[in-house]
Amino acid sequence: MSLLEVSNLRFSIDKRFLLCKRRKEILRSVSFSLDAGSTLGLIGESGSGKTTIAKCLAGIYEPCGGTINFRGLNLYPETKSRKALGPKIQLLFQNHAASLDPRLTVRESLVEGVPEKDDRLIEEAITKFISMVGLPEDVLVRYPHQLSGGQRQRVALARALSVSPQLLILDEPTSALDSLTQIQILKMVVALQKQTAMAILYISHDILTSSLVCDSIAVLHEGVIVEQAAARILLQQPRHPYTRRILQATLVQTPPRNNHRAEKN
Amino acid sequence: MDPRPRSHDDFIEGLLARVGVEQPAEVLSCYPHQLSVGTLQRILIAMAIAPNPRLLIADEPTSAVDASMRIQILDLLRNLCEEGEMGLFLITHDLSLARQYADRVAVLYAGRIVEMAQAEEFFKEPFHPYSWLLVESMPSTESSLPHMPTVPGTIPSVDDLPAGCKFSPRCFKVQDDCRIEEPALISVREMRSVRCPYWK
């Protein structure tokens, strides 16, 4: 049995225009599964419903139909079972500036998630999580505005990890970061996954970056998964016309590598 | 720019249509939370180009949108620049955008320009170690994560800058004198300058 099984997930919102009310379907019928220790990429254009799936899984939005099973526990339609589950599903948002409370220092932000009650154990846990994400201890006394984007995203990640999640949903975790910082964060996420065997749902509009971290990738288009394949296969042999289109759009901006870099290596 | 349409609403709808917002009339009556991130970004661009500026400073204009929309938006900005003789100052962390849309590139690290070059030359061969690492970290279809460069540390905060070259604590070409005196931006070729004496 997979860790996470989502079948026929549907979500719609009411749109008002003048006096008319129209129902707009965001997710039409989304099904996928995810095993412990593996990474599934979810890619698609802006507005395709990627973040909506993340919010449905995290319990922020209530779906309109379908089922969500996590470790054999039904999270939808049985919404009450989410309380019994505890914080096993964590969500890391794209907007690192908004995901931390600006009034709390990094230490205070981290303390909220740590389950230990004893002061010494709390301190040990905080030190462990901050070093897991590759940050020096002196950031603990800083406020979010005193950190760089990459550091803030690492703190948000440390916070998510502090409750030992079994599923980590990363919603565009590196799209606001430069290429160098992005690679450092992705390497760290992959290393942490090996340590903890958590499953990762990696949401991104960037097919190339997703292929670096994901075992398989699902392509979302207008609320439906139009193609799912192993990351390498999707890059080399995209089958759906929509996948081909987004791949083409990405490759226009990233021409093949120059030879000089191979020489330098 | 097109001649100003008859009514204000027509003008705004025309602007929204130009930046690729679908059903502009419907969007006009929406609140921001009802719209997707991509649509919001297009609306911001519409607001910026509305007064027909001579210089447009675009700070990460497409960081939250997908690849195909990014091309559409930057194509639009480029066309507007050409039509209206508008200059575009594109601030971005996305090197692929700079490669495709910029004439010249300046790389900034800890508040200093570390390299300035024509875009084509820059991407063919970045000179500064930091630029080289940035270009090397751009994912391509052949990249694999374990083979991509690892750099220790993060960008220093402005109140805690290292002595000498600001990149020296993370640099793979660092020499003893780098940690003492900050190098100047030296001109190495026509239209090309770099803040590193060991760039070769």
Render pLDDT for B163-198 as a digit per residue (tens, 0 to 9). 999 999 999 999 999 999 999 999 999 999 999 999
pLDDT tens for each residue of B91-109:
998 898 899 899 999 999 9
* Number of other residues whose CB lies within 10 A of the CB of residue B108: 11
* Beta-sheet strands, E only, within chain A: 4-17, 20-34, 39-43, 65-70, 73-76, 89-92, 167-171, 199-204, 216-221, 224-230
pLDDT score at B168: 95
Instruction: Please compute the mean of the pLDDT values over residues A91-117 and round it to a whole number.
Output: 86
Q: Which two tokens stand for residue A75?
A: 């999270």
Averaged over B24-31, what is the pLDDT? 89
Beta bridge pairs of residue B90 = B58
Digit-coded pLDDT (tens) for A146-171? 888 888 988 998 998 888 899 999 99
Q: Choose the mutation target among B29, B31, B138, B167 for the interface with A, i.e. most A CBs under 10 Å.
A: B138
Judge: A252–B100 Cβ closer than 8 Å, yes or no.
Answer: yes
Best interface-test mutation with A: which of B107, B131, B145, B172 has the largest number of A CBs within 10 A?
A: B145
pLDDT score for B186: 95
Over pLDDT 90: what percentage of chain B? 48
**In 3D, which of A227, A199, A192 has the Cα closest to residue A215?**
A199
| Confidence class for position B5, pLDDT limits 50, 70, 90 | low
Higher pLDDT, residue A45 or A140: A140
pTM, two decimals, is 0.82
- Which of the pair, A248 or B159, is modelled with greater confidence? A248
Residue A262: predicted pLDDT? 40
Question: Residue A260 has what pLDDT?
Answer: 44
Question: Is B134 within 8 Å of A256 when comparing Cβ atoms?
Answer: no
Contacts of B148 in chain A (CB under 8 A): 183, 187, 212
CA–CA min distance A192, chain B (Å) = 14
* Residue A5 in this model has a pLDDT that exceeds 80: yes
Of A147, A179, A249, the CB nearest to B71: A249
Residue B120: pLDDT above 50? yes
Is A208–B142 a contact, with Cβ atoms under 8 angstroms apart? no
Q: Residue A176: its pLDDT value, please?
A: 75
Position A255 confidence tier, pLDDT thresholds 50, 70, 90: low
Give the nearest chain B residue to A147 (CA atoms). B157
How far is the C-alpha of A95 from the C-alpha of A93, rounded, in Å? 6
- Provide the token pair at B128: 């500064």
Q: From A237, which residue of chain B is nearest by alpha-carbon distance?
A: B141
